[in-house]
Structure 1
Amino acid sequence: MSKPVVAVVGRPNVGKSTLFNRLVGARIAIVEDIPGVTRDRLYKDADWNGRSFTLVDTGGLDYEEEGEIISNVRRQAELAIAEADLVLFVVDARAGLTPADEAVASVLRRSEKPVILVANKVENYQNKDYYEFYQLGLGDPFPVSALEGLNTGDLLDEVLKHLPAREDLGEEPDVIKIAMLGRPNVGKSSLVNAILGEQRVVVSEIPGTTRDAIDTAFTREGQNYLLIDTAGIRRRARIVEATEKYSVIRALKAIDRCDIVLAVIDATSGVTEQDKRLIGYSHEKGRGLVLLVNKWDLVVKDDKTMDKYTRQIRTELGFVDYAPILFVSALTRQRVPKILSLVNQVASYQSMRLSTADLNSVLREAFLHSPPPSYKGRKLKLLYATQVAVKPPRFVLFVNDDKLVHFSYLRYLENQLRQAYLFTGTPLQIRFRSRGER
């Protein structure tokens, strides 16, 4: 199930970013950075008392000033509110209630989202000045000091009370869940329509986990699929440039819920930083991956063009060299029929389970063919190996000392497994354990 989203909003200079950093930094050992995305310090996945959620920082909501930049920041924050399962509305207890706070509160009341009113900069709880925020009509103000870290743990407890309850997605085990990801204007929606096409059967609309997303269930040649798409990007096409950063929330939710990611790359612009971020997140989550290079009909080609593009993509996305690349055109439907065939192939490799005998045979041969380098006179020895999970395939190798494992040798063993069994489109997770380690 995808993680709930908690948005931190408020007018400028009330301490939103300080609170954001405090909430994700106070328990740094249980906070996970989202690859590439958190460079801008806007998103972080956090875990509190065993519950995970995504915390989103926003720019200040200012309804008194005008200007293009202010307007864009305002739209971004409003989109974050629309995406959120819970909103933390931060106000400044020292400055007191302002007309700007009232304007933000009005927006939040119209959104009908659950709201926790956070009165920041309260270092003395005997001082009840923050009581004036009751006038906003958003419930009891929750006093904290983000700078000092006062009451922030209790705030996280309160956050958990408002998050959606854990649920089982309920899909049948033979359903392949596919997430179609891509930046605005790469032809993602056109590819969705091309895949469904005229041959679709048993198609139904299922409400997604986000309020503005629609999942499409369909069957093709006896195989059931669930296509996870982010319809909100299509409906907000006119403002997509100003809100592109916040489309990441929908993409992360889709990745969390899917088995296989179809990452759409624009052939006319190549791999972008946002492509790398989302694909990196997919890789770390262990999802199957297919790279779709769309708009191939717009590229002037010769007999070497496809090889050239393939080399460029492999250079930019070297960390997912296992992912197959398919050059397609949603407009002309070139190679579109091959997409589901490739998805089926990746799904089969995701679920592949090797016998312990076959696995150990391949790895022992790998050790014999290229022995690991010794370290201070000690050499890594393989005792035995076993596969412990699928989706993605996960292996545990028991060795004499896991501290002797070098990253390059880990890559070598992964390559040997792929040579023997391909594992097209799926990451492999290999862990080493020392002798006697539980």
Structure 2
Amino acid sequence: MKVKRPLKYVIGLFIGIMLLGNFATLSQQRDGLRQKGDRYENTGIPNNCDDKIYGVTLNGNVIEIENIEGNSKVMKQLGIVFPFKCNALAKGVNNKIYGVKADEQSKTPIYEYNPKAAQGNVSKWVLPSHNDGGWISGAVDSKGKLYFITTTMENLVRVDIRKGEPDVMWSDNMSVSGWKKDNCSAGCNFFINQKDELVVKENKGNNLWYIPLNERFTVSKSEIINSATEINPSNDILEYYNTNGNLMTLLLRRDGISYYSNKKADTFSLIKIDTLKMGILTDLAGCNNFIKKEEKVVEEDKDELITASTNVNESIRLKNILFQLGESELMPESFSELNRLVKQLKKYPQVEILLEGHTDITGDAVENIKLSLERVNSCKKYLVNKGIESRRIQTKGLGSAKPLKRTGSEKEREINRRVEFKVIKGIG
């Protein structure tokens, strides 16, 4: 026998289901990570990351720091946040911090702490067992994923906090091209820069290595920090945007934090702590080094589009590459700029590039990707017809995923319709 429900009951039930669905969606978005369909998806722009950085001492003490530069720095002692000795610390773009028990080689859980609520708990993520001393350093990438690495860089694990299981990026039996185990015989720390590269520094040395986070782990470049600055040894390294929008390189020492400038080749103390009272500092964590405002693109004004100082994966905008609205055929006004690129590619026959196409933020996203790919393929065809080998040019259509302007007049948003290239194999 069917039971008839009053109309208001049915309507109430429907509204309840809708509210539950919206609550689930909101709960999912609160983690602060990129969501499918998010207008900033596939960009390096965190939703919620604030400017605070955190330092942890070996005994689990955490300090919270704001406005680290100049005389306006604010330091707050949070006390013993982690109920264990800690060497590895990461900050998510959800503004929570994550610590791992030091010197642990068996399976060990990640501890999650919310500074705003002053609450912590053992998380659902468990790092795998290994034979490399312990988890020594943590970091976060531009998409909000966390990374932890062992003492001599033998093991790297990635944690997507929307998933249950960590991903093992590499382990003891996996090699990294251009890497020697001896590089980190005394331990290494790292952070992840704006290009999503691991930037690794020796604890007892001044060497830096850059390892892009892609399928083939290869050291892309190495450099030496000026030893005259006496930053050796250091416990961690981190990039940080200060209140003036300038990128600072922070170096963690046992008793404080210093700022290092390649240009000035000097350091000076920013924060100093009482190691007898708090313990020695072991790791730094932050996430504001990923650009939160307009994405920065190198726009070369000189005749040389490519020089010896051009960085691999540095975006360079091609000027006046024009197409009819909604079309992929090049307009004649584009030829001058493409001829400049032809000249450069002939001058440096070893260089290989990736052409990237972008549309504005109007229209269907899928169609925009298709159109942007067709447009860069038109540019490639032009370059090949001018004598450049096809194998030296890759293409990618990004559609409206990476706008330079999200607001403003139509004239201002025209900058979104552009073609850029990246050098994927450099001069040297």
TM-score where L is the length of structure 2:
0.24
More helix by share: 1
Q: Which has the higher strand share?
A: 2
Give TM-score scaled by structure 1 length: 0.23
